[in-house]
Structure 1
Amino acid sequence: MLKIEQHHNHYLLRTRHTPESLSSDWFDVAFWQRQNAVVTSKQGRAAAWFVRYASQQVAVLKHYWRGGLIGKVLKDQYLFTGLKNTRVYLELDLLTQLASLGLPVPTPLGARVTVSTGIYRADILTDAISGAQSLCERLQSAPLPSQDWQKVATTLARFHHAGAYHDDLNCNNILFDDQGKVYLIDFDKGALKTPAKEWHMANIERLARSLKKEASRSTQFFCTEQDWQSFIDTYQGAMTKKPA
């Protein structure tokens, strides 16, 4: 359940994990830069800023950007048809539900929706995953141990058993933390659905395409047919069992 705060030109969305001190300023990178609290950033279309909001806690701040041809024109502008229809509300609400199911996702901290003349822009804040390294980054540096492929497969099976649909399952959205636990991130356009083999397989095919794409543009990429078959075998075995 999200708590909604309405202000003059924006909404703040809070979860049960939201720090009490969270304010609209938290969604402006300049606010963190003034405090020398920006730890690092990842640039690109889906840029993310890592900011230290407490002595031992780092959050990931992301702005919503459009993709495709329309993104070249509207960039970060979306038609506002009600707060609960915004992409950020839907993602934050989904993350809250997934976290309550015990699934390994980033802890949702809050979001901001700024509205002006029927157009909205949005930002989301989640806890950073400690020592996170993506599946893609791991495969670019060394072969992945078979037990780690199995972790990815069984983790994905947990999400699928729960009906958790990921709209863009790729090797950059699968993370290992510093203890080797596997997480899924970036649930924009995701949903909770009735489990069905059709969309389960579509998820897996999308992951396969992303691995091939990264392999084609990396100077080294340690992913073999045997690795993939092991992943598929483990996933299929996990899907035949009742979730733990």
Structure 2
Amino acid sequence: MEEVLSSFTVEELYPIVVSIKLALMTTILLLIFATPVAWWLSRGQSALRSTLSSVLTLPLVLPPSVLGFYMLIFMGPNGPLGKLTESLGIGLLTFTFPGLLIGSMVYSLPFMIQPLQTSFESLGPRPSEVASTLGVRPFTAFVKVVLPLCRPGFLTGIVLTFAHTIGEFGVVLLIGGNVPGKTQVVSTEIYSLVEAMEYSKAHVLAGGMLVFSFIVLLALALLNRQAGRIFK
């Protein structure tokens, strides 16, 4: 094992850095975006809310290659976002880290929104109503009452989003390609190593992903157990 690890070059280990950077940025940005959206979705059952909820959860059922293909078209030279970025002098986002980040956020969005929405719905409107009767402003009540009570939902969303981003492949490959040092992540590096018949190195990275996945599942189980104790 030590011989295999020492055989990795710095360039071959850099996908780990890119993966962690992508997962962290995706999780932080989705946490900011998904929190108000999930709160709004949890406040009623109108047709508009149901339609938006269905749109936001599409990545759960769409094959990653399909989502990646349409994101590639959307950000390409003939797509709406591609035309906008080119007109602004930014250039195309395809096969760049910013483009990869956008695709990752779209693909991982349901994994942040659903735990938050479920947590808000389970909490119900009662705590906010009690805070309102005490003269607490809605935003203050949300920050000081709702968020602490929904902490298990936030932790679940953060863990799921981070882990899901680490394991992306289809969307990453189509939008970001497999550019070493820029858009090459662990999953695409494993693919490259297998293509090059370097199975020993692929085993190391794949084994690391396996251990990481187990830790994530264990963490989620512990979080759910803790949440069950809190709400009993």
TM-score, normalised to structure 2's length? 0.28
Larger Rg: 2
Higher strand residue share = 1
